Amino acid sequence: MADQAKSKKKASPRRKSTTPLPAQEWFEPMFMEFLDSIDVGVYVLDLKGVITRVNRYILDHYQWEMKELAGQNIFELMPDLIDMGVEEKFRQIIRERRTTELTNLERKDRIGRTVVFNLKGVPILEGNEVKGVFAVMSDITEKRALEHQMAETENYLQSLIDNANDIIYTLDCEGRITFLNKMGQEITGYRFDPDEKAHYTAYVVKRDLEKNERYFRKALKGHPQRYESTIVGIDGRLINVLINITPIWRLGKVVGMLGIARDITERKQMEAQLLQASKMAAIGELAAGVAHEINNPVGVIIGSAEQLQFLMEHYRDRPEEVPARLSKHVETISEQAARCKKITQSLLNFGRKVEMRTAEVNIPRLLEETTALVASRAASEGKRVEIRMPPDFPMLNTDPNQLEQVFLNLVTNALDAVGSGGTVTIAARIQDDSAVIDVADNGVGISEENLKKVFDPFFTTKPLGKGTGLGLSVCFGIVQRMNGTISVRSTPGGGTTFSVRLPLNEKRQRQSK
């Protein structure tokens, strides 16, 4: 029994240790431990604003000691809070017993740093009675700095966009304009209204609508596009633009389009002038050959006219015999006059100022007409021009006049490169979705150094006065505007080949020569 009594005495302390502590004894330490673990500052204030406790964040972040804060009135410690109306809001929290936003405050801390924090008051309630206030301070210094930086960046970007020399705009996936920068409004004269939701096609010339729609659909599939087009200003003025459209992605999906359009109206006018200058230079080089070409039929016409005059004099007494003898000479005169007309008409067409106008072009016929302009020169210099075309070569949808200028320049340059007995060969083939026309010569070739500069404006290897250096640069610009490419390959002494690659029509139309 005694042993049992001793056991009971030993067990009783263990039973006492497992008895739960009163709620206030365990809850308060746990709550303060929680406050010390969070990354916001917390002041515990009594009803007069006296600091009774602060959490670890206040002490560590702002290098305070608890003894420096405990017992201090927060409004005496930070008098600027009174000027900002925080004291009045503090009283309001106590009266209304609800959490209240106090202020966003920017001030110097005790070590001289500028800090910005958000101050919020939370009532400490015991039942329905307010016992104090938690002043919760969230340091938003970095957030505010980021906001300022973002605002400055946004203003900077907005300024760049508005003052850019290009038209910058955005479209939704339906093609409606959702933004147009100030420069775009100045160039076109249109005032952007975000509520209007105007469609971009309303400002594109009719002939370019299909092309714009085609590029827009490609861009919607995620592929950036670059092309030239013409838009109409509010005053009806036509504006040539070089457009780059790029898809706008969000969460892996195209949600719109960013467009940058550069006004190239002046550049196009200069190109037209350069094109005309190149044409006139080419005409000058062709003049001698054309004169020789016309002299032949003119000589025949003169001879036939002399024969007619002789017949009329010789058969003066027998006029009834004249008609039968005249017909042959009249027919000859008519044929040779038609030949002269064809030559001069070709020359006039070539020299005429024209805008790019696309049409279905018979390439074999165009090449024959082009080489006819240099046939006399080639023959007189003992050179040959050969055309090799596959049967049923497809029609190309392009500008015949400007394409003729390209090939005339290439053939003329090739004839310059070959000596007597040399050959210039024009061959065509279909490759992938393109027509490729090669102009090859067996002449002296081009050095590697000069090969890199052949398309540069005013670059020429011809003697002074024999070339302007414009021909190939103009050819390059023309072919580029036709959505094609022009390239060259050559080795010194091994001849040169210029290759013009042009897109085929979407619907091929085969033709016979």
Question: pLDDT per residue over 27-36, tens digit each?
Answer: 677 877 888 8
User: Once rounded to an integer, what is the mean pLDDT over residues 155-166?
Assistant: 78
What are φ and ψ of residue 398, in 5° steps? -155, -175
- Does the pLDDT at position 1 exceed 60? no
The percent of residues in the chain predicted with pLDDT above 90, rounded, is 22
Average pLDDT of the residues of the chain? 79
pLDDT at 480: 82
Distance from C-alpha of 256 to C-alpha of 251, rounded to nearest angstrom:
12
176 — pLDDT class (breaks 50, 70, 90): very high
458: its two tokens? 């005013």
pLDDT tens sequence across 3-27 = 444 444 444 443 444 555 455 566 6
Distance from C-alpha of 329 to C-alpha of 338, rounded to nearest angstrom:
14
296 — pLDDT class (breaks 50, 70, 90): low
The listed range with the strongest mean pLDDT (155-164, 199-208, 472-481, 501-510) is 199-208
pLDDT at 78: 83
pLDDT tens sequence across 43-63 = 899 999 999 989 998 888 888
Predicted TM-score (pTM) of the model is: 0.41
CB 203 within 8 A of CB 238: no
- Does the pLDDT at position 512 exceed 80? no
Angle at 347 between CA 344 and CA 349, to 5 degrees: 110
pLDDT tens sequence across 309-357 = 777 777 777 776 667 667 777 777 877 787 677 666 655 555 554 456 7
42: its two tokens? 């917390």
pLDDT tens sequence across 241-277 = 999 999 999 998 999 999 999 888 777 777 666 666 6
pLDDT at 344: 66
CB 446 within 8 A of CB 454: yes
pLDDT tens sequence across 90-110 = 999 999 988 888 777 777 777
* Domains detected in the chain: 32-144 (3.30.450.20), 164-263 (3.30.450.20), 268-503 (3.30.565.10)
